[in-house]
Amino acid sequence: MSQFDVTVIGSGPGGYVAAIRAAQLGFKTAIIEKYPTLGGTCLNVGCIPSKALLDSSEHFEKAKHEFADYGIIINEPKVDLAKMIERKNGVVEQTTKGINFLMDKNKITVFEGVGSFESATQIKVTKNDGSSEIIDSKYTIIATGSKPSSLPFITLDKERIITSTEALNLKEIPKHLVVIGGGVIGLELGSVYLRLGSQVTVVEFMDKIIPGMDGALSKELQKVLRKQGMKFELSTAVSAVERNGDSVKVTAKNKKGEEVNFEGDYVLVSVGRRPYTDGLGLEKAGVELDERGRVKTNDHLQTNVSNIYAIGDVVKGAMLAHKAEEEGTLVAEILAGQKPHINYNLIPGVVYTWPEVAGVGKTEEQLKAEGVAYKVGNFPMRALGRSRASGDTDGFVKIIADEKTDEVLGFHMIGARAADLVAEGVIAMEFRASAEDIARSSHAHPTYAEAVKEAALDATGKRAIHM
């Protein structure tokens, strides 16, 4: 029987990072993955492939509608969806091979098969051919991630009524894509097909899109996406989804309580994700789940069984790849006797529409609810030379600071490259910087980042220069 110090079940961003960090710290490490490729949802059917398609569709959109303004005259561009999907698959393949390389480099043993507990220290690996082997592990990290959720009355046929996984591999561009759920995944994939020529209708139960982010971002993103042609049906509760040949009918109730119908040739069900623990055999190890099916952990991500830990989408908190990576590193370092920390308030959230949306720290709504006295600095992207030069003038930066101490409490933006710029807010808040600290830091000109400095100036005494 093979013996390991640390075994990780699941090779998504949380799992493979945990394995690499454990190996770096001198542990004999194994990783178990049931699929033939490493990388989990994020690399195979999530973050990476969706960004590849978002980029393809963005280039097409620009070629179709904007090139002439830039002085570039081309024939009418056409979409080759099969080629886009092929490129996306190439990006995925390259990335997963990179993970294989890192496993070899760090001398991590990879087992392909389903990992399930036989006891607290023994894990069975069941291979695709039905054979199995048992390994012994001093510590185990559960990193089995999540699966797309659905609604109890929806039958996902994975052809016309689909999840994000199928939306990344369509054979044709939908004529009318109905998206159930106005969260990150629905809006990103809705954006892809909107740019490629689909009519897109988003049906959302709440009264706003991206409900977890700052209200100002939600409002602005909806305005911009509406301008791009996306339709929104908010405060609308879906009650039935029926397929009839190539058409799918969605029945719902609007905020007035009236029945409304939407008909499309594809329906994307994007109502969140659920933790995935199927077939793990947690009962044999004695590991407890909470009421929402997540693995129960303490502040050190330790389960009720002292040698078993859990990270990522399978535990509480935001289902984000970078949150899982931080947790994977944290557990490996705890096992090595170090004292790492994660500040969950400083895990940024990002939406990769165009313009991008990003936020970290407290939203204005949260601070109001907590009764914290705060001040707000805003700066519009259209006031930047860099934004005008590239034609990306939508959006703004919003910095929220403590009214008395000027400490930055929230950092929210919508605009070009917001996904990258939010890191400036994370660093500032990690080191408890004030808005004035950011305002006094030189930002290169002309850059999108200047909007951050200007918003910080606006937060410290309304002294933005270019507004």
| Catalytic position from the list 59, 65, 300, 445 | 445
- pLDDT tens digit string along 310-319? 999 999 999 9
For the chain, the average pLDDT equals 97
Confidence of residue 333 (pLDDT cuts 50, 70, 90): very high
Q: Which of 297, 318, 344 is the last residue of a domain?
A: 344
- My answer on whether 287 and 402 are in the same domain is no
In a domain, 41, yes or no: yes
Looking at the predicted structure, is the pLDDT value of residue 16 above 90?
Answer: yes
| Rg for the chain, CA atoms, rounded | 24
pLDDT value of residue 112 = 97
Domain holding 365, by residue range, is 355-459
- My answer on whether 285 and 363 are in the same domain is no
For the entire predicted model, the pTM comes to: 0.96
In a domain, 349, yes or no: no
Looking at the predicted structure, is the pLDDT value of residue 418 above 90?
Answer: yes
Q: Please give the structure tokens belonging to residue 245.
A: 């040949």
In a domain, 466, yes or no: no
Torsions phi, psi for 304 (to 5 deg): -70, -10
Q: Residue 144: how many CB atoms within 10 A of its CB?
A: 30
In a domain, 300, yes or no: yes
- My answer on whether 134 and 54 are in the same domain is yes
Q: Which of 271, 289, 315 is the last residue of a domain?
A: 271
Confidence of residue 219 (pLDDT cuts 50, 70, 90): very high
Helix/strand/coil for 352: coil
Looking at the predicted structure, is the pLDDT value of residue 439 above 90?
Answer: yes
Q: Please give the structure tokens belonging to residue 235.
A: 């405060």
300 catalytically annotated? no
- My answer on whether 236 and 98 are in the same domain is no
How many distinct structural domains can be found in the chain? Answer: 3
Looking at the predicted structure, is the pLDDT value of residue 430 above 90?
Answer: yes
- My answer on whether 252 and 281 are in the same domain is no
- pLDDT tens digit string along 143-176? 999 999 999 999 999 999 999 999 999 999 999 9
Distances (CA, A) of 192 to 49, 51, 168, 211: 12, 9, 10, 21
Q: Once rounded to an integer, what is the mean pLDDT over residues 130-134?
A: 95
pLDDT value of residue 255 = 93
In a domain, 376, yes or no: yes
In a domain, 464, yes or no: no
- My answer on whether 265 and 301 are in the same domain is no
Looking at the predicted structure, is the pLDDT value of residue 128 above 90?
Answer: no
Looking at the predicted structure, is the pLDDT value of residue 122 above 90?
Answer: yes
- My answer on whether 278 and 266 are in the same domain is no
- My answer on whether 15 and 138 are in the same domain is yes
In a domain, 155, yes or no: no
We report the CATH number of the domain holding residue 193 as: 3.50.50.60
Cis previous bond, 340, omega within 30: no
- My answer on whether 167 and 67 are in the same domain is no
What is d(CA 275, CA 281) in angstroms, rounded to the nearest whole number?
15
Confidence of residue 256 (pLDDT cuts 50, 70, 90): very high
* pLDDT > 90 fraction of the chain, expressed in percent and rounded: 99
- pLDDT tens digit string along 101-112? 999 999 999 999
In a domain, 350, yes or no: no
